[in-house]
Amino acid sequence: MSNVGIVIVSHSPLVAEGTADMVRQMVGDEVPLAWCGGNGHGGLGTNVEAIMGAIDKAWSEAGVAILVDLGGAETNSEMAVEMIGEPRAQKIIVCNAPIVEGAVMAATESSGGASLKEVVATAHELSPS
């Protein structure tokens, strides 16, 4: 059985890469992982095509959880999932949780064989009430 993939989407490529580095150090190569950030011109922002590429890189039949930092990242991630379409879109969830802590905890759950629903629930537990 494959583990749930994790995608990290941040407006800052440095934040996305740093978060991915933390995840990799915590869980090794057991979890499919990809990140993207920035607007493609060296500035802050997110890009739907880059998000789609990250989803492809982290793809797992167990599903993919996308961790986002701000509203624009969430909106562009939702657009990317819509553009990917069915049947894969059914296995992708955009998770609006604290990006660093959420990614680390989601990946830890994934590495233990948790389902997509369990991985996302663990990340959401970190969100303020």
**Which amino acid is it at 26?**
M
Whether 124 is a known active-site residue: answer no
Query: Of the listed 11, 27, 55, 74, which one is catalytic?
Result: 11
Q: How far apart are CA 102 and CA 1, in angstroms?
A: 23
**Going by C-beta distance under 8 Å and a sequence separation of 6 or more, which residues neighbour residue 52?**
80, 83, 84
Q: How far apart are CA 66 and CA 96, in angstroms?
A: 8
What's the token pair of residue 85?
Answer: 């379409």
Which helix (H) or strand (E) segment is 92 a member of? strand 92-95
Residues that are catalytic: 11
